[in-house]
Amino acid sequence: MSSCLDALRGYFDTRARLWLSVRPARVDETLDSGAVAHLVHQAKQKQRTYEKLGKRLVRVHTHVWIERLEEDPSRTRAEVWATERVCFTYQENGVPGLECCQIRHEMTWMRAGGAWRLDHARESAMGHELPSVRAVPAETVPPRFPRDPDWRSGLYDRMRAVRYADAWWDGTNPRFPRFSDDCTNFVSQCLYAGGISMWGEPNRAAGWWFQFGQKPNWSYSWSTAHALYLALTDALGAKVVSDPGELKIGDVLFYDWNGEGTYHHSAIVTDFDAMGEPLVNAHTIDSYHRPWIYTDSPAWTPQTRYAWVHLPDRIHIRRS
């Protein structure tokens, strides 16, 4: 009789093989046609995105943490929480590149006839976070940046913002909460680490700020993509450029998934690929050096519009 853990191994093994081949020689028998179709769709989206950008996927490495596995007393039903890290190695003009993402899973497995089968599954996606149950208490997390940013200089330290984005792309700084849609909260933290000073407190509808303490509070612009876009372009003098190639590390991209004029997602530029295209870090889905175009996102539509926002090197806050 197979165990639920064996079934989980088969499920994630199938996911790993599908990234490289959408027609695998063997598909785990615990998956129904709907689950397989979902995995195939994800793999096709990734491959199409790489083809569009002239990248060739050569290797996929996955690592899975089973955070919790709870079986009911009858041992016929199991609730599972897991975190899956996927790293894609690709070639572009002979230059290797690496992209990673982290996906959180909630699953229900049922046992019938001695075999475990997947009954229901949810995974973190754009605008929908599944919290990790591996959260580390704040006092046990070593500080990654020992000194605070220097806001007095008025300079935006792009390298420092990027170091923060690379340090926390797959985790949560215990000084801040994790939101159900965490993308803009994460970008705001990166900008703060880069030395951009807060302003407008305590008016949530004004400025850009986060209030630390036992009961933290924050402006709408700290946690909402469209509000951050307005704060950067109205108060900080950030410019919307006409081409992503004009961006620098530490700049910010905004995504309007349905093309109706409201930005729903934000990401920070952390590197460039061999063709000079920006790579971004983001939360929900946690992403490291992801191609900026996001056509492999479940939220992307043909109507998607982008705002490529270039921040000034010296910050002068224009308070209204």
pLDDT tens digits, 124-139: 864 455 555 444 333 3
Residue 156 class from Cβ within 10 Å (0-12 exposed, 13-18 middle, 19+ buried)? Answer: buried
Tell me, yes or no, whether 15 and 114 share the same domain. yes
Tell me, yes or no, whether 77 and 219 share the same domain. no
Tell me, yes or no, whether 115 and 153 share the same domain. no
Separation of alpha carbons 147 and 167, rounded Å: 15
Q: Which pTM was predicted?
A: 0.87
Q: Which of 81, 96, 123 is the last residue of a domain?
A: 123
Indicate if the alpha-carbon torsion angle 42, 103, 182, 99 is positive or negative.
Answer: negative
Query: pLDDT at position 219, please?
Result: 97
Tell me, yes or no, whether 182 and 298 share the same domain. yes
pLDDT tens digits, 71-90: 999 999 999 999 999 999 99
pLDDT at 169 over 70: yes
Q: Residue 246 domain-assigned? A: yes
Tell me, yes or no, whether 93 and 11 share the same domain. yes
Range of the domain at 193: 142-310
